[in-house]
């Protein structure tokens, strides 16, 4: 998929041990581009704050995802720009990413 790291980032929040569905729900239920933008900002901010200080629940979730470190699921500028542009054109792109994050890996 074009936005694999964004899906993985959101999947981390939806993991059964992490259970922080708020960000995923906000993206899935967004009625505007701005709501998607703010929710994604929050997801990135939370993920970056965990770098080097991951609780055991996050470490377990990353391991189940086959990821060694949280940095590995933080999307780069190109992926973020592509996703945000798509969400600006069609809010359904945001719902698609949220749904894939809730699906199985």
pTM of this structure: 0.93
- Position 59 scores a pLDDT of 93
| 96-103 long-range contacts, CB within 8 A, separation 24+ | 97/3, 97/6, 97/7, 97/10, 97/27, 98/10, 98/24, 98/25, 98/27, 98/28, 99/28, 100/1, 100/7, 101/7, 101/8, 101/9, 101/10, 101/11, 101/13, 101/14, 101/24, 102/11, 102/14, 102/24
Residue with the larger pLDDT of the pair 1 and 64: 64
- Position 2 scores a pLDDT of 86
Helix residue ranges, H only, the chain:
4-14, 22-28, 33-50, 56-64, 77-89, 92-102
Given a cut of 90, whether residue 97 has pLDDT beyond it is yes
Q: How confident is residue 105, by pLDDT bands cut at 50, 70 and 90?
A: low
What is the C-alpha to C-alpha distance for residues 93 and 90, in angstroms, rounded to an integer?
6
């Amino acid at each position: 998929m074009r936005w694999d790291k964004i899906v993985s980032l959101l999947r981390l929040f939806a993991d059964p041990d992490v259970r922080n569905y708020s960000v995923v729900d906000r993206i899935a239920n967004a009625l505007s581009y701005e709501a998607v933008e703010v929710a994604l900002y929050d997801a990135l901010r939370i993920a970056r704050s965990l770098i080097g200080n991951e609780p055991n629940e996050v470490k377990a979730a990353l391991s189940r995802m086959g990821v060694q470190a949280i940095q590995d699921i933080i999307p780069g500028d190109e992926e973020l720009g592509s996703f945000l542009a798509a969400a600006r054109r069609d809010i359904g792109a945001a719902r698609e990413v949220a749904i894939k994050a809730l699906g199985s890996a």
